[in-house]
Chain A
Amino acid sequence: MRALLFCACLASLALVSGAARAEPTSAAERAARRLFDGAPPAIPHDSAVGACVSCHSMAGREIPSMGYAPASPHARTAGIAAVPCKQCHVEKRTDEVFVGSTFRGIEQDLRSGKRANPLAPPVIPHMVFMRENCAACHTGPAARSEIRTSHPERANCRQCHVERVTTGVFAPSRETSAQGR
């Protein structure tokens, strides 16, 4: 809780001094770092600079001369605190490729989530697992404008935003639907 409040403060701070900061990564660059949307991004800088979480913390950190190190979206994920970051994130060390690829994966979709009506809170369009620290992407200087929250002060995001886990709709049991008729 305290961390989230801290996050919120940081975000408002960012609004004040926002002009001085680097823009978030461009959409094209963001996509290029991933094999498909949802895959772990490659590390775009020398990865031998230190412990990853000292910069990619719960709230992220401004690094002079490098820009903003975004917060870790996994900072609140249960059971993975001990997992080495480089198990999944590897450094990009060249622009070359071995051979070209015809792969076409899920592409990034930076529109906001679907809503029941124009006033309802949007549902979460992605898996929440591994992304439990909502603030990492939805607040702060690293948040993209399309998905930046207007209300970072509300700490419990999932009170109103729910994860869509199926595209199916409710089908009442035969007994209940018989009663309804």
Chain B
Amino acid sequence: MKRREFLQSLALAAAGVAAHSPADRAAAEGMRDAAQIDPSDLTWGKAPCRFCGTGCGVEVGTRDGRVAAVRGDRKSPVNRGLLCVKGYHLPGFLYGEDRLTKPMLRLADGSFEAISWDAALDMIAERYAKVLETDGPDAVAMYGSGQWTVHDGYAALKWVKAGMRSNNLEANARLCMASAVMGFMTQFQSDEPMGCYEDFEAGDDFFLWGNNMAEMHPVLFSRILETKRQRGDVRIVDIATRRTPTSDYADLYVEIRPGTDLALANGILQQILAKGWVAESFVRENVVFQRGNEDLEEIGWGCYGAQKDRYTFADSGRDSSIEELGKFLADYTPDKVATLCGIPSAQVETLAEMYGASNRGTVSLWCMGVNQHTRGTWMNNLLNDIHLLTGKIGRPGANPLSLTGQPSACGTVREVGTLSNRLPSDRLVTKDEHRTTAEQIWGLEPGTLPAKPGYHTVDMFRALSRGDIKAIWIQTTNPWVSLPNLNRFERSPGDGRFIVVSDIYPTPTTQVADLVLPSSAWVEREGVFGNTERRTQQWNKLADPPGEAREDAWQIIEVARRMGMGHLFPWGEDEWHEAMYEEYRRFSLGTGKDVASYAQLKETRGMRWPVVDGKETAYRYAAGRDPYVTKSKGVHFYKAKKYGEKAAFWLRPYQPPAEVPDDEFPLWLTTGRVLEHWHTGSMTRRVRQLYQAVPKAYVELNRSDAIDLEVGTGDRVRIVSRRGALEATVEVDGRGKPPRGTVFMPFFDESILVNQLTLDAMDNISKEPDYKKCAVRVERVARG
């Protein structure tokens, strides 16, 4: 026996080996049937996750044109191989038994009948052409999504704005990110954060403002937790109106009354000024002061009186100064703020001290609590203000870092500009030179793009209900679940309006449609998303769509062709993705928002703009890091031409919410998401594991309120607001714990439509609705 064979036989003897006895082996073999899928049989490709704005990289394993597995992409700098439970269950959302596979037309009796793509596309083209002819471009509309790919958004932008010459193009990001957009625009004249995810390792103190990050941006939150584990001195502050799983990890939990975040932020500014923590030379060099319209009568909330049908308030600014700021802040001493917020005044001082400490890197993080707010733009301004006043901006570990909810709210809605007042790369329809650029790139007759902004989302659906909009096409979103004050938006078939809905499953929105189109989703088509940290990510088509499902962008292009607008989409049937993206990219080049080339996106795990000479930018406005900065050190807000390339600090007061609890409706209602479900649940509820974890919406009650009502977990209650009523099951001391006087409900459940209760009050500047604050009462339902 040779030495090697000898060793092998030794090893075999040592192995001894229960697992390799013939009986065991046969049993194990039995578990593998002929059709089983072996991981090594799969073809793997890269894609960003379909769900949240974190933008985790995943590897997608496919076989026979179907997705069979995903795993976290270890090459992605976003998540380094880790995902959250939604990401791990991505393949499941594609394969619900009721996927839409054919265009469906509603018949007179209300039922749906399958029709051909040709018939469907012809019908849309004819109906839109007819409305354009009889009622003009203000009567047509398209409503899309932050889950649209860049291609979908760009096709929609071109069809609506360049083709139909209408600005009635909106997207559901109006309901989630518009206040952040307006915050950045009013202060830096350029949307999107200067910071990036590297702040999670570089920062010392993390302030979460109204932001349940452990459930909503889980992978990012675990990056902070890991930093905290490695470096003991890291602190997390959770400022919220309800205890969430995030609060459990916080060093300091600050529970404020709904809407008083404005007062708290001003209280922090007051202390920074009073205690001399202002970064004086930074402010002198980089900041100007502005003050806007604060007339409560004039501003309103967008939901009462004449504003009930149309909300068009426009803010106006005037020059202010740090001296005026000092006087303005006299109303925000720790004592006054403490009384308003319902917290000890020492807490205000502690928070200010943390922000004011010049040796600590401070990162502010926020999402829906701040954005879905009747003064959401103001609140965004105040958070950016704190960072401006302390000079904690534009360097690693010190930034106001607004988090985005949807996978491409940034890449598509905010960058492509699929909103009623925008054009690509920070351009506005109201600016002549911006329209001129668009006309040049699109080859249009000069002066023909419309300068008047279209309806913002809530007004768009109000106009549809009134009949002022006669044709609307809704893609990749579910407004009949997600709009506030839903009962306003009832429609009956045959009411003279034409509603087209493209989606992948039946939803309450497809139920009100006249024509339903089956879309391909995620890796069933090629696409590009852009995440929170300005990272543009591309993926190839990796799987086949079911039946006749087609991608949203294709649907739009085909309709445009049938309306005689084919010249806007001059690309071949198959190879148009790169060409279309490269045309869009021309808008971005030279603006400081330069997106990467398609070729580079294909090769990388995404690139953060501005991308110049093939190099990405981690920190915007930072000397030595951002290629557009001409200064040799510090920061340079080069986009803010209006303010002499400085950032604008806005003085913004506290104003009360649109509706506050009273005797008749004594409780606050706040709404939101849960970890397991994405938005209105039409995708995640079709994944067994996610549905079985959180099957139905419920109402979280404080224990004391539950005792008063004599109810407990599992009991049924009726929740009533001025606008509607519904029943739900109580949960006490579950994952979320509202304070006494507040109830919480998630909005993912189409059978318990919490938006029948919410109020269509809006932010005065961004026109983003406030889903977080309205008044309700809760009644016990007799046990049956």
Contact = CB atoms under 8 A, between A and B. Distances in A.
A152 B464 CA distance: 69
A94 B692 contact: yes
A84 B245 contact: yes
Given A83-B222, A101-B97, A106-B38, A112 B20 contact: yes
Interface in B8-39: 8-9, 11-12, 14-20, 24-25, 27-29, 31-32, 36-39
A111 B32 CA distance: 8
Interface string A76-96: 000111111011111111111
Interface in A45-103: 79-84, 86-103
B18 A104 contact: no
A86 B222 contact: no
Contact of A103 (B16, B80, B95): B95
A145 interface: yes
Interface stretch (A4-12, A116-124, A170-178): A116-124
Given A38-B39, A93-B695, A100 B226 contact: no
A164 interface: yes
A87 B218 contact: yes
Interface string B680-694: 000001111111111
Given A38-B71, A87-B218, A146-B19, A104 B689 contact: no
Given A102-B97, A130-B81, A119 B71 contact: no
B692 A93 contact: yes
B214 interface: yes
B269 interface: no
Contacts of B81: 129-130
Nearest to B692: A92
A17 interface: no
A171 B36 CA distance: 30
A101 B222 contact: no
- Interface residues of A, dominant DSSP: loop
A97 B687 CA distance: 8
A36 to B, nearest CB: 5
A46 to B, nearest CB: 12
Contacts of A92: 689, 692-693
A105 B676 contact: no
A138 to B, nearest CB: 9
Nearest to B749: A98
A126 B40 CA distance: 9
Given A95-B692, A150-B15, A167-B40, A80 B218 contact: no
- Interface residues of B, dominant DSSP: helix
Chain B interface: which size bin?
35 or more
B18 A148 contact: yes
Interface stretch (B83-91, B351-359, B552-560): B83-91
Nearest to B38: A109
B416 interface: no
B20 to A, nearest CB: 7
A19 to B, nearest CB: 15
Interface in B39-60: 39-40, 42
Contacts of A35: 88-89, 91-92, 687-689
B82 interface: yes
A105 B676 CA distance: 20
Interface stretch (B61-69, B337-345, B507-515, B639-647): B61-69
A107 interface: yes
B135 to A, nearest CB: 39
Given A80-B222, A80-B226, A91 B37 contact: no
Nearest to B36: A107
B11 A119 contact: yes
B430 to A, nearest CB: 43
A101 B31 contact: no
B692 A36 contact: no
B752 interface: no
B142 interface: no
Contacts of B69: 36-39, 105-106
B219 A87 contact: yes
B627 interface: no
Contacts of A147: 19
A83 B676 CA distance: 16
A163 to B, nearest CB: 12
Interface string B319-354: 000000000000000000000000000000000000
Nearest to B28: A146
A22 to B, nearest CB: 18
B37 A86 contact: no
Given A35-B92, A86-B675, A164 B693 contact: no
B94 interface: yes
Contacts of A107: 32, 36-37
A146 B31 CA distance: 11
A1 interface: no
A106 B37 contact: yes
A82 B222 contact: yes
22 contacts: A35-B689, A39-B69, A42-B693, A80-B222, A80-B226, A82-B222, A83-B226, A86-B85, A88-B85, A89-B85, A90-B689, A90-B690, A93-B693, A96-B692, A97-B691, A97-B692, A101-B97, A104-B37, A111-B32, A112-B20, A146-B28, A150-B19
Among all A-B residue pairs, the 9 with the closest Cβ atoms:
A119-B8, A90-B693, A82-B225, A103-B95, A146-B28, A100-B97, A82-B229, A83-B222, A98-B685
